[in-house]
Amino acid sequence: MEHLRGVRDFSHLRIHRFGSRYLIRWYFVENSKTKLAYEAHDYFVTLADHNLIDVVDHETEDKMQQYFQSNGVKFQSRHPKPSELA
């Protein structure tokens, strides 16, 4: 039941990540309602690891930025405020 509630609560959020699976990965969170993306806090990594939030993998940061640009997502180089993720 908790899993279903978590999936529902985060259904409008997506994690974007790039980097090596074995070295360093960078994570960013996108709010699909507002079309804004931010640097992700550590708890979003946990949500992604437990399949509670959709994940989009990118080969490089440039490819991620291209995805944002082609999908009309504006990237904010900061952590989001809680109200910006609702």
pLDDT band at 33 (very low <50, low <70, confident <90, very high): very high
Q: What percentage of the chain reaches a pLDDT higher than 90?
A: 64
Return mean pLDDT, the chain.
Answer: 89
Give the pTM: 0.86
Per-residue HEC secondary structure of 45-75 comes to HHHHHCCCCEEEEECCHHHHHHHHHHCCCEE
